[in-house]
Amino acid sequence: FKFIIFSAIITLIFSVNFSFATSPMFFAFFPFAFLFLFLYSLIFKKSILFFKGLFLFLILFLLIQSFQFLPTARNIINSSSAEHQLIFSDEGRFDRGLGYFLAVQPYVKLVDNISNQPQYLISIIFDHAAKNTYFDYGIKYQYLFFIYILIIIAGFILIKAKGKREERLIYLSMMGIFLLLLLLMTANINPSVVEVYKKLFSVPGFAMFRSFYTKFNVIFVFFYALLLGTSLYYLLDWIKFRLVKSILLAFVVFLMAFNSWPLLSGMIVNFPLWLSKGVKSSIEMNKDYLNFIDKIKDKKLEAKYLSLPFTNEEYQVLQGENGGAYMGPSSIAILAGKNDFNSFYSFGLFKNLLGDSFKDPSLVFFKRLLPVLNVGKVVYDSNNYIYDNFPSHPYVPELKEIFPNQDVINKFVEKLDCIGNEKINDFKLYSYNNFLPKFYTPTNIVSTTNMNLVNAMYNYFVAPVGNYQIRTVFYSSEQDQSNKSVPGYFNLELITSTSPLIRPILEFKKINTTEYRMIIHHAVSKVPLIFSESFDDGWKIYLENINSNYDSQEYDKLSDYKILDGNVDDQATKEELGSFINQGLISNLGDGNCKVIRHEKWENNKQVLDYNEGYKIDFISKNFQDTIQNNNLPDGNLYETWLKKPIADNAGHLMANGYANSWLLDVEKICYQNSSCKKNSDGSYDLEVVVEFWPQRLFYLGLFISGTILIGCLGYLGWDFYRRRKTNLALKDGEQNDKQT
């Protein structure tokens, strides 16, 4: 019982190993591990005890992992989530799953798995950089490693002849699971096995095993080791001559050490990057780039980033200071916490149009697409090293045809509507001039079918300049539910009813990645609201009591206002802020307390303090398309919306621009006889709302459950330790009294 509790606590410490991202390894390993434990308990007639322990462990495991299990379960059930699409959609199961399986399956060889060697042929076919390492230390001497199988065969013969019943059954259980895993690890045994494998991809979730020879590898090696160790034990026990035993054991140890040398020496983690010109993967991070990342962190504007040069997949290449290079996910997203478009793939449904759009000298389509995607910054790494040393991946030939070298990319950047140029050596940062903020109200509506949505956007963006409006929003007409009888359904025609004389001004703050506070100024009639974040029906809008802290004396605070370092392109000037206040568009200038921004730099591979910047009024942006970002708005309480009903239900929540969230707020209906709204002299309303991703509450609920269970488990272990210690002391006292008596 204590061991089960301790194991549950261990799973909490290593929670990342039980996340959705690692589910292939989880579901490859534990079902077979538990199957063996069940067979073991069955052999020794302790199956009831096994099921009791398993049930208790699973309950504790699910409860202690609630903080990530509850949100993940919701995402899997929710049809609009990426996780659901990955598991249940035909694209996830067959295109990404079966397609990948069929591409690699012919090159997986049974002989490599039997001798416990890497799949050498795959390394050759796909020109993997580690192919020579694998060859020199494994495949070249593959016949030597068949001693493993010979030992297993010998162990099987010996245990069948001399082993006890329980020992034979345990060995056969290991052997059976090993052979099953050998089948799953190989697939390419005969056509019938391949056909069965292909049918398994119809099962939701099985696509996680598309790279089958890597996903089942850990559990395969685990049972290989169990079987080899057990067989070696029986073989050494059978051999009577000590010298023969020593030679055999020394030879097996030598084989293991010999095959492990690439790992022990570090070769396996410092081979050339795939399809590069011999560029090593082990790097020391570029100090200039790290300082450049700190510069990006200073940016307060809520905007997405465009990173150049483009790659085909969502990779970034970055030169290290020791001649190596990093190739992996965007470091701007990981290190700076900014959403980043750095590849064709990251543009989603627009990716197929990019190639042709780049051939247009004026780049009209691309420049007009960026505002729709909330791109406000452009990052450009002009280093020739990263582009010249990776001729075919991740800068694929199709990309190299469009952008053959860095000079062409530099001219491409010059054609974009950018302002400013902050630079640290090869790294350049620009502000995109035609910026459309994360929240905005549209001035033009285009409705088209799902099939023609992308084409409609393309045709509109390349239309004559006079017809183009930056705040144009595109809807699929299949979402128009105006003909349905249920009240409140979304009618696309109603979106255009916003008065052209009085357009609302939005003032918002990002509280965290799942919650935003917004004040809508001068709202009339029906207000269409666009939120440039990936669509999910979990995003809800809640009405709050408007609580403006601004009065006539607040203007005096302008003497404390300053442009924060690194934000001159985006932050409102003192004059602009004064104008906002006069128009009643700023609701809060903060509490007046002194605050500090810590600016850091890198020295000797360490991040150290550069200087502290003091301020009293936080970032307030310029007026971008009738939207002002005001970071002085209050955060509010974690639970302020939990007992409230959303003001726009699912019927009024639609996908806009093929990816974004959109609501139609009926201001007259919301604010009629509602003290939460503030009515202005011109008949318009000011109202305060919170936009929240409600599934985040599942995380908070799960965190409470996980914390409670953890405290309970630790409390039980502490109480048990105290009880046992007290009992032992009592027994010792009793023994001492007996001796004295």
Q: Which tens digit of pLDDT belongs to each residue from 215-263?
A: 999 999 999 999 999 999 999 989 989 899 999 999 999 888 887 887 7
How do residues 163-192 score in pLDDT, each as one tens digit?
888 999 999 999 999 999 999 999 888 888
| Average pLDDT value for residue range 86-115 | 85
At a CB cut-off of 8 Å and minimum separation 6, what does 353 contact? Answer: 365, 454, 458
State whether the Cα torsion 107-112-118-120 is positive or negative. negative
Q: Cα separation of 661 and 653, whole Å?
A: 7
How do residues 498-535 score in pLDDT, each as one tens digit?
444 468 999 999 999 999 999 999 998 888 899 999 99
Task: Classify strands 505-512 and 515-523 as parallel, antiparallel or unpaired.
Answer: antiparallel
Please list, residue by residue across 553-571, b when 16 or more beta carbons sit within 10 angstroms of its beta carbon and e when fewer do.
Answer: ebeebeeebeebebbebbb
The per-residue pLDDT for 352 is 86
Task: Classify strands 418-424 and 539-544 as parallel, antiparallel or unpaired.
Answer: unpaired
SS3 at position 112: helix
C-alpha closest to that of 616 among 650, 582, 589: 589
How do residues 456-480 score in pLDDT, each as one tens digit?
888 888 877 667 889 999 988 776 5
At a CB cut-off of 8 Å and minimum separation 6, what does 374 contact? Answer: 303, 304, 436, 437, 438, 532
The per-residue pLDDT for 502 is 63
The answer to which of 132-146, 160-174, 200-214 has the lowest mean pLDDT is: 132-146
Q: Cα separation of 283 and 269, whole Å?
A: 11
Higher pLDDT, 554 or 486: 554
Return the number of other C-beta atoms located less than 10 Å from residue 515's C-beta. 19
DSSP state of 620: B
How do residues 145-167 score in pLDDT, each as one tens digit?
888 999 999 999 998 888 888 99
**CA distance between the termini of the chain:** 38
The answer to whether the CB of 69 falls within 8 A of the CB of 62 is yes
Strand partners of residue 607: 602
The per-residue pLDDT for 556 is 61
227 exposed, middle or buried (CB, 10 Å; 0-12, 13-18, 19+)? buried
500 exposed, middle or buried (CB, 10 Å; 0-12, 13-18, 19+)? exposed
Q: Cα separation of 562 and 559, whole Å?
A: 8
Mean pLDDT, all residues of the chain: 87
Task: Please give, one letter per residue, the 3-state secondary structure of 60-116.
Answer: HHHHHCHHHHHHHHHHHHCCCCHHHHHHHCHHHHHHHHHHHHHHHHHHCCHHHHHCC
Structure token pair of residue 655: 């996908």
740 exposed, middle or buried (CB, 10 Å; 0-12, 13-18, 19+)? exposed
Q: Is the pLDDT of residue 334 over 70?
A: yes
Q: Is the pLDDT of residue 454 over 50?
A: yes
Percent of the chain with pLDDT over 70: 93
Gyration radius from the chain CA atoms? 32
The per-residue pLDDT for 309 is 92
Q: Is the pLDDT of residue 665 over 80?
A: yes
pLDDT range class, residue 304, cuts 50, 70, 90: very high
pLDDT range class, residue 649, cuts 50, 70, 90: low
How do residues 411-431 score in pLDDT, each as one tens digit?
999 999 898 888 999 999 999
Q: Cα separation of 678 and 543, whole Å?
A: 12
SS3 at position 278: coil
The per-residue pLDDT for 541 is 94
Global pTM?
A: 0.87
Which of 31-35, 97-101, 114-118, 186-190 has the largest mean confidence? 31-35
How do residues 689-731 score in pLDDT, each as one tens digit?
999 999 999 999 999 999 999 999 999 999 988 888 888 888 8
Q: If you search the block for the tokens 């060859």, which residue do you land on?
A: 135
The answer to which of 103-112, 135-144, 593-602 has the lowest mean pLDDT is: 135-144
pLDDT range class, residue 450, cuts 50, 70, 90: low
Strand partners of residue 280: 272
Q: Measuring CA to CA, how many Å separate 278 from each of 129, 268, 317, 449?
A: 8, 14, 14, 49
The per-residue pLDDT for 270 is 76
The per-residue pLDDT for 318 is 92
Structure token pair of residue 337: 């916490």
For residue 309, is the peptide bond before it cis, meaning its omega torsion is within 30 degrees of 0?
A: yes
The answer to which of 242-256, 270-284, 333-347, 396-410 has the lowest mean pLDDT is: 270-284
The answer to whether the CB of 687 falls within 8 A of the CB of 546 is yes
Structure token pair of residue 202: 């119809």
The per-residue pLDDT for 732 is 81
Q: Cα separation of 240 and 719, whole Å?
A: 52
Return the number of other C-beta atoms located less than 10 Å from residue 443's C-beta. 17
The per-residue pLDDT for 675 is 84
How do residues 578-608 score in pLDDT, each as one tens digit?
999 989 899 988 888 899 999 988 888 788 8
Q: Cα separation of 373 and 50, whole Å?
A: 54
The per-residue pLDDT for 672 is 84
Task: Classify strands 660-666 and 526-534 as parallel, antiparallel or unpaired.
Answer: antiparallel
At a CB cut-off of 8 Å and minimum separation 6, what does 716 contact? Answer: 5
Q: Cα separation of 202 and 600, whole Å?
A: 52
Higher pLDDT, 294 or 128: 294
